[in-house]
Amino acid sequence: MQREHLFKVLVIGDLGVGKTSIIKRYVHQIFSQHYRATIGVDFALKVLNWDNHTVIRLQMWDIAGQERYGNMTRVYYREAVGALIVFDVTRATTFDAVPKWKDDLDTKVTLNNGKPVPVVLLANKSDQSRDGLSTQIPKLETFCKENGFVGCFETSAKPDPEPDPDPDPEPDPLHTQLCSALLYDLLILSGRPPAASFNDFYLQGEEEEEEEDRKVVSEQQLHG
């Protein structure tokens, strides 16, 4: 019998760090230079097979960068079981804001057992120059351990302009990064042992119904 898990995952960080681009690339495999700034919140759904018996419905909540200063984040964060905090490697101020986003998250939502939700830090736009920033950022792994992140990765939503003509059949980097930290913790929390290899993941239902993209998360996120 196949079990399904619905996980609500927040994607937060300052305005313009590329949250929407990461979600669009991860969920729909598309990239654009011209996304408009998110107003309030937007949603996307990714369906993954964890193993032969488990399906994960990963509901990504794209929270506008200015929302940390508003009163709605507590509503948006409610019942989340994981989060990605994104900063832009070309803008030091967005990295400086990471602890503030983490503190805001930790004070407004916890798991059912009272522990903080697992959070992955994404250093976005790694394809661009980091002049003036690389010397100011501490080692990401040390920073993450000191600030309670379950993982951290440099990444880019922008596809390689010169793709390998004979590509290696490895998973998409964004997919691998997310699975190797956040999903691992979510499945452990839900009582499901991890798969033997993260390469066992494969995508399902690329064209989900729009209505499903915007479903309200049920209370069965960790007990589905």
Within a domain: 174: yes
Which residues are CB-neighbours of 96 under 8 A, at least 6 positions away? Answer: none
CATH number at residue 196: 3.40.50.300
Per-residue pLDDT tens for 16-66?
A: 888 888 888 877 766 555 556 666 688 888 887 777 787 888 888 989 877
What's the total number of domains in the chain? 1
Tell me the C-alpha distance between 162 and 143, whole Å: 33
The model's pLDDT over 106-162, given as tens digits with 9 standing for 90+, comes to 999 998 888 899 898 888 887 776 655 554 566 788 888 899 998 888 877 665 555
d(CA 168, CA 40): 39
Q: Is residue 94 one of the residues assigned to a domain?
A: yes
Q: Is 50 exceeded by the pLDDT of residue 220?
A: no
Range of the domain at 87: 3-213
Domain annotation covers residue 221: no
Tell me, yes or no, whether 146 lies in a domain.
yes
